[in-house]
Amino acid sequence: MRFPRARLVIPAVLLAAAVGTGVPAALLYQDAVATEAAQANRAPASAATKARLEQVLSYRFTTIDQDLTAAKADTTGEFGQQFAVAADQIIAAAARQAEITTTATVVSTAVVDAHPDEVVVLAFVNQTTTTKDKPQPATGALRLRVTLERAGGQWLISRLAQV
Amino acid sequence: MPDQVTAEAEPEAVEAEPGENGERPAGGPGRLWWTCVVLLLVVVLGFIGLGTYSWLRQHEAATTAQRDQAILAAARGELDLMANLRHATARDSIARLQAGATGPFRQQFAGADSAFFALLDQGQVDSTGQVTEAAVQQADATSAQVLVAVSATVRNTDYPNGQARDYRSVVSLNFENGHWLVSDARVVP
């Protein structure tokens, strides 16, 4: 038995159409998924910015080791390594020596840029600090550009810069 | 019943031959052909649907991003003018500030009279600065709120060498007549 040509042409055309529509559809879908993932990251990354920043920028000389251990867990990547070194070699010693207590409060955040695995946030932070020599609270108004990366299912600080 | 189906034959010609009792078997090349055609058709339609849906989502996201860029440009432009207010060109700067403002924020500049400009001249007030970062905090089709960080150096007769100042602002904007206009700029203490 022999198939008529028309019977081969129709599936062939449909197969070509499937490939022709499948490739752009897959690419468009991939872009849409990435865009939606980036958009979906905005709210959790903003919330994480507040929690992480307040923990990283707040410590009390009486509980400095626990505070810095918690703060280190809020950071990741190269920044995390640099912060850990600074925490162990500079911050802990300075906090004990000067009896520093500092409390940071994030007053406002807004997302500068969002990607599927990275979000950049502008944060306005108020910081109140007391020391042995200056028991009257000194206040500071910070403007920080915070980069967060998703690591182990959590949004952690991977860069921190004043703007 | 033809012995052989030719290329010119009608599609029904390839259907399986009847059995001994005259009934047609359930399978055969005809059924397989239809199954393939229907499956391919479903796949093509599915891809078209997926592509259309994805394009619409992307288009929506691009429209939102474009809107946010317009909001940021308006907020940055207005605060950039404020950070670069100079006594010699203050009238022009105030006029440009008014053009980008609306509501109570615009009214503030409307109140700038000759006494205000005389005060700037007398104090030789010059400010130079820039917006160092800005981000949309909230936005919809008609209103938006933007966080803006501004750094400026203000010179006057008291500080001839200049005094560095960092500002944190929350800027509110309204969409009016096709433009984003600043309705409020509040300093965050």
A110 has pLDDT over 60 = yes
Q: What is the pLDDT of residue B110?
A: 84
- For residues B102-120, give the mean pLDDT: 88
Q: Within a 10 A sphere around the Cβ of B56, how many other Cβ atoms?
A: 12
* A58-82 pLDDT tens trace: 999 999 999 999 999 999 999 999 9
Q: What is the pLDDT of residue B27?
A: 66
Q: Are B7 and A2 in contact (CB under 8 A)?
A: yes
B73 has pLDDT over 90 = yes
Q: What is the pLDDT of residue A45?
A: 95
B19 has pLDDT over 50 = no
B9 has pLDDT over 50 = no
Q: Within a 10 A sphere around the Cβ of B63, how many other Cβ atoms?
A: 10
Nearest CA among B109, B101, B112 for reference residue B172: B101
- Interchain pair B137, A110: CB under 8 A: yes
Token look-up 């203000």 returns B154
- Say how many residues make up chain A: 163
B40 at the A interface (CB within 8 A)?
yes
Helix (H, G, I), strand (E, B) or coil at B149: strand
Concatenated DSSP letters for A33-55?
A: HHHHHHHHHHHHHHHHHHHHHHH
Q: For testing the chain A interface, which of B44, B59, B173 should be mutated: the one with the most A CBs within 10 Å?
A: B44
Virtual CA dihedral for B103, B104, B106, B111, nearest 10 degrees? Answer: 140
Query: pTM value?
Result: 0.85
B186 has pLDDT over 80 = yes
Assign A46 a pLDDT band (cuts: 50, 70, 90): very high
Assign A145 a pLDDT band (cuts: 50, 70, 90): very high
Nearest CA among A79, A82, A75 for reference residue A56: A75
- For residues A96-103, give the mean pLDDT: 97
B14 has pLDDT over 70 = no
B132 has pLDDT over 70 = yes
B29 has pLDDT over 90 = no
* Residues forming beta bridges with residue B145, ordered by sequence position: B138, B172
B119 has pLDDT over 60 = yes
- Residue A102 or residue B6, greater confidence: A102
> Which residues on chain B are in Cβ contact (under 8 Å) with A122?
133-135, 147, 149
Sheet order of strands, A154-162 included? A59-60, A101-114, A118-130, A138-151, A154-162
* Helix or strand run (H / E) with residue A11: helix A5-56
Token look-up 């159409």 returns A17
Q: For testing the chain A interface, which of B5, B54, B63 should be mutated: the one with the most A CBs within 10 Å?
A: B54
Token pair of A149 as six digits: 């990366």
- Interchain pair B168, A10: CB under 8 A: no
- Residue A139 or residue B1, greater confidence: A139
Cα radius of gyration rounded to whole Å, chain B: 35
User: What is the distance of C-alpha B124 from the center of its chain?
Assistant: 40
ipTM given for this complex: 0.89
